[in-house]
Every structure is written in structure tokens, then in C-alpha cells.
Structure 1
Amino acid sequence: MTSAQPTVVLVHGALTGPDIWHGVLADLRLRGFTGYAPVLPLRSLAGDAAHLRSFLATIDGPIVVAGHSYGGSVISDPAALTPAVRALVFVTAFQQDQDETAGELNARLPGSRLTPENTLTRPYPGGTALYLRPERFGEVYAADLDEETVAVLAAAQHPIDPAALGEKLSGAATWRSLPSWALIGTRDVSIPAELQRFMAARAGSTVTEVDSTHAVPLSRSSPTTDLIVAAAA
């Protein structure tokens, strides 16, 4: 591995944590890359951006950052990145723009099943945490994974405070100044494929489409890794 080889940082979204990246981390390791998947608090967009930036600041050399789901909102935030970041990869992810919120973006086009009847909330000290109903997790998030994996993911959710989904991005989106790649899941009903295509087109992202649900880093880890490696090149 040369000194110019970038480090890959994988940013999870809402409802799942770094475990969504386990297959990709293993693939990256086999291909000679160093990868990390930090944990985000998922309490506010500003807080998640600050958390990611503090993590990136500990890494020497160039960095490629990939975001899944709401993780795309985080890596779209200019407050989240350091100057070492060279490229962005959006994996069935929001590509949020200035003055937009993730919540209003996901309602812009029809098709999302992240709806009140499929979700539930639980209080935590200082706020409210949003979950998918366990019995709906498979159909909404991961219909192409086996039943046992879906059950485990549903039981071990990383909930998000809905307030984070209502926070506007302040400042010009990172994808306006950095090269970006987008992996679109054609069977995604969390962030519908048509919305992903719209966001990728306006960002000028290099697009790859795969036959997958929202859980593409787990269900299609190899093509996910392929796209990240392409960005790293």
C-alpha cells in the first residue's frame, strides 16, 4: 500500500449502525485498503457532522468518505468534512442540498415506506428516538436479506431523533465541490430509487444501479466496494 492510498471512512445512517458496513470492510481489507466505520450519535445533523469531522481529523493522508442512507446527509454537510477528503460515495443515500431537510427530500417523490404506520417512537433523556416497527423492518429496509439477519437487524436498531431529519443543511453541499459517486438500489422503498436518481443527477455523481433494497451494503457488499474503490482511484 502506497502513502497515496486513501483511507476509507464509512458512515452509517439511521436505524442501522456500523454493522451495515461489515461486508464492505472485509472486502476493502482484502483489496488492501484501510477502512473505518465510526458510530454516530444520531441525535442531530449538526452533532453528527461535528462527530464525523472530529473522527476524520485523526486520520493522516487522503480520505474517501462513503455514506449510507441518512449518512449521506451527514457527508453532504460541509461542517462534517476535513480538507483531506478527496471523494464522496453515496450508497442508497440522501444527497442533501443547502436549505433542504432529509425529511422533506424523502417526501418529494412518492414511494417511501418510512411512514408513520411502519415506525414507532420511544423517549430517551432529552428527546425522542425513531425506530422501524420490527415486524416491518424486512419489507421497508431489507427485503433481500434472509429472515434471521432481518430479525437481528430489527432487534438491534440504532434509532434516530426525528429532529435530525428536520434540520436544514447550512452552507453549500460538499458534493458541489467534490467528485461524487452514487449507488442506487432499484428496489429501495426507504429512499425510493427515483429520488436517488434525482439527487445523483443534480450532483453530477457517477451512478451505478444494483438490484437491491435499502440494505445494499449488506446485501450487495461487492458492488458497493467496487464503487468505493473506483472513487478511491
Structure 2
Amino acid sequence: MTVVFVHGVPETPTIWNGIRDRIEQPTVTLRLPGFGSPRPARLRDKEAYAAWLADELRAMDGPVDVVGHDWGGHLAMRVVSAYDVPVRSWVSDVAHGWHPDYQWHEAATLWQRSPEGEESLAGLRKSPTGGGYTFGDALQPRGMSSELAKEVDDIHDEEMSAAILALYRSAWPNFHADWGREFDRPVTARGLILTPTGDPGAQPAQDRAIAARLGAQLTELDGLTHSWMLQNPERGADALRRFWASLPD
């Protein structure tokens, strides 16, 4: 069974390297368009990104196990709930975003406003002469490695800023408002919700409520941060292996 990893925002597929090294199954990583790669004009909102992911999964020799982090997790949940895709199982670490009471973090609410969002992201792009406060500076306290932080800063251009704005502005006030309705009906793919409790944005109670509603498994990654796969890839890989081992053949 192939495992398909989908990164979050603002990240690259590199974030999965440590996990992939510890997984015995074949693995594939997908790069979200606009994050170090061209972004087709049609990708103007979260639904268009979900349709893109669905097309990528259909092109594979499925069924597959899809693992999403951050926005990759949101897209994975949308795809398995609303698209005909060859997916055996899904994993997300941000399921609380689908809870009716979820409220976006401060940066997201800033990016959802104009012109504040444009100004904020322009300020986070690396200066040609160096210096300034960048995405890498903001994300390292949440567990991002210095190597990945540099990679993110190197690819953060106007196109990436535009992709971030398109995603966040199409996700107001939260995912429950529109996509959540699709998860009120049965989903054939089995799910796992990961809760890294050391993430400042963690919402364990909301994660548990979503897991109960969906009949998904839930695993708390006690003390790990938003970038749990970088902080402790062995624990992350173990949680995934145990989930897949529980699935019917």
C-alpha cells in the first residue's frame, strides 16, 4: 500500500523526510501548487485545491493511505468526504478546524483581511539583502527545523503569498461552515486524528469530538509540537504504523 504525504502551509514536502525514512511502505509526497511550484490560475480557493488533490490521488495505482499535515490534513479530509478517490485511509493533525466552535489563529484572521493579509505576507518574505523577520523565524519555535525554515524562506515569493491568501480567505469562518456538512454521512476510508498536545494551537477536546463524530481513531502525541514529524519522527512513524496495522486487509 502506497502512503501519500501532503504538506501544510507554509511548508514543502521536505517536512516528511524523517517519517518516510521510517516507513516500510512505498511513499509519495505531493507539493501543493504555489509552494515552490507553479500554481495554475484555476486554484483560487480551497475547493480547487481539494479537486487538485483528488486528481493526483486518482492518477496513482491505488488504493492509497493519505497522510496530511496542517492544510494538507484539511484537504485530505475534504477529499475522502466529498470525492470519489481510491483512498483506504486518511490521517490529519488539524481535525479541530472542522469543529463548529473552532476559531482561526491570529495569523489566519490577519491573512483573511485585505489589505492586511497582503501586507503581512510581504513583510515575511526574505529581503534580497537578508535580514527581516521571515516565515522561518516564526515557525522554528513551533518545531520547524532550521533547514526547512531556510527552504521555506527561499521559496516564499509573491506566488506563494497569493496561494496562502487564496486558501485562508476561502476558509472563513471555519471548515465546519461548508465542508463539515459532507462529514455528516458515512465515509468508507478509515481515519486517524493526531493531536500534538505541545502545539500552541492544539484543541484536544475539539479533536476528540470530531473523532467521535466520524468514528475515527485518535492518538495524542503528548508534548510534541505543530511540526511533530520533525521533532520526533520515530514517534510519529510509530503512530502511523499502529494505525495502518489496525486496518482490515
* TM-score, normalised relative to structure 1: 0.71
Distance 1:227 1:174 in 2: 26
Letter in 2 for 1:76: M
Letter in 1 for 2:28: Y
Give % identity.
24
Deviations, residues 40-95 of structure 1 (Å, cap 9, x unaligned): 2374211111111111112123211111112222112134550x2111111x3236
CA RMSD of aligned residues (A): 3.7
Paired position in structure 2 for 1:121: 117
Q: How does 1:18-57 map to 2 (within 5 A)?
A: 18-28=13-23, 31=24, 33-41=25-33, 43-57=44-58
Q: Which has the larger Rg?
A: 2
- Residue from 149, 153, 172 that aligns with 2:182: 172
Contact persistence 2:195–2:202 (CA under 8 A)? no
For residue 142 of structure 1, report the CA deviation from its aligned partner: 4.0
Contact persistence 1:67–1:75 (CA under 8 A)? yes
For residue 141 of structure 1, report the CA deviation from its aligned partner: 4.0
Distance 2:122 2:75 in 1: 18
Distance 1:34 1:40 in 2: 20
Distance 1:197 1:132 in 2: 34
Contact persistence 2:6–2:69 (CA under 8 A)? yes
Q: Which of the pair is proportionally richer in strand?
A: 1
For residue 34 of structure 1, report the CA deviation from its aligned partner: 1.0
For residue 195 of structure 1, report the CA deviation from its aligned partner: 3.8
Q: How many residues are matched?
A: 211
Distance 1:38 1:213 in 2: 22
Instruction: Extract unaligned runs of 5+ from structure 2.
Output: 35-43, 126-131
* TM-score, normalised relative to structure 2: 0.67
Contact persistence 1:65–1:85 (CA under 8 A)? yes
SS at match of 2:240: helix
Paired position in structure 2 for 1:75: 76
Structure 1 segments (4+ residues) deviating >6 Å: 117-120, 128-134
Q: Does 1:85 align with 2:87?
A: yes
Distance 2:54 2:199 in 1: 29
Distance 1:174 1:54 in 2: 23
For residue 198 of structure 1, report the CA deviation from its aligned partner: 3.8
Paired position in structure 2 for 1:8: 3
Q: How does 1:140-155 map to 2 (within 5 A)?
A: 141-143=139-141, 145=143, 148-149=146-147, 151-152=149-150, 155=153
Q: Which of the pair is proportionally richer in helix?
A: 2
Paired position in structure 2 for 1:206: 217
Distance 1:9 1:81, change over 3 A: farther
Instruction: Extract unaligned runs of 5+ from structure 1.
Output: 1-5
